[in-house]
Amino acid sequence: MIALALETSGTISSIALTRDQQLLVEESFPHGLQHAAALVPMIDSACRNLSIKPSEIEHLYLNIGPGSFTGLRVAVTLAKMLALVHGTKIVTVPSSDVLVWNAPNEALEVVTCLDAKRGHVFGARYRRDGSTWINEEPAHLDRLNEILSRASKPVHVIGEGIKAHRASIDGVIWTEESTWRCRASIVAKLGAERAMRNEFADPLILAPTYIRLPEAEEKRLIAEGKIEAPK
């Protein structure tokens, strides 16, 4: 069974192809956020090199976000196209679930950190349990110090949001920058596990998970009393 995994949530993206859950290839985007220009040619090249036809891709594993608005939108569009044209089954995986697998071996408690602007992060909290991770606090919009206050010590923080928030936080272990981005190979691993549990997405209603509304729209809705201002 051939599967394609897409990781387009961050500043550097990647794709992976697997056969029967064995990694065949993983390649990263060399041009930052140029997802639309790089994604399809990279997939086409990888498939050609492995003599794989698009119609042979049975599963597509997708980082659904939060993350880059453009990157997630392009990946979701491609996933829908494969599902509608070739019947490819889609599995979605949240960014935080992918990111935590980059934590160092000694980490027992981890907080994932994606910058949500305006002093907030989109974060989640995890605890290591043997060879897996237990989600103790689902991903949500919050202030980093609030999430950390509920974490056991020592706690590792991981994610591209570190750059924007590390100067205001003490008493935590900041992971190396090389671990801050999600990887398609991990999306493939987690996607395959969810596929085994028949956790497939409906392509007709598939949509990215974004961190928060654009600032102008958020302010308008707050002023109209339709949503509450983030604390």
Helix axes 69-86, 35-49, angle to 10 degrees: 40
Q: What is the pLDDT of residues 108-161, one digit of tens each?
A: 999 999 988 888 999 999 999 999 999 999 999 999 999 999 999 999 999 999
30-39: average pLDDT: 65
Q: How far apart are CA 42 and CA 188, in angstroms?
A: 17
Quick one: DSSP state of residue 55? G
Of 168-172, 173-177, 215-219, the one with minimum mean pLDDT is 215-219
Percent of the chain clearing pLDDT 90 (strictly above) = 73
pLDDT at 223 over 80: no
- Give the C-alpha distances (Å, rounded to integers) separating 139 from 95, 122, 132: 9, 6, 17
28-44: average pLDDT: 75
Residue 225 identity (one-letter amino acid): G
Mean pLDDT of the chain: 91
Task: Give the pTM.
Answer: 0.90
Q: How far apart are CA 173 and CA 157, in angstroms?
A: 6
Contact 114, 182 (CB under 8 A): no
CA 101 to chain centre: 11
Residue 32, pLDDT score: 55
Q: Domains along the chain?
A: 2-94+181-211 (3.30.420.40), 97-179 (3.30.420.40)
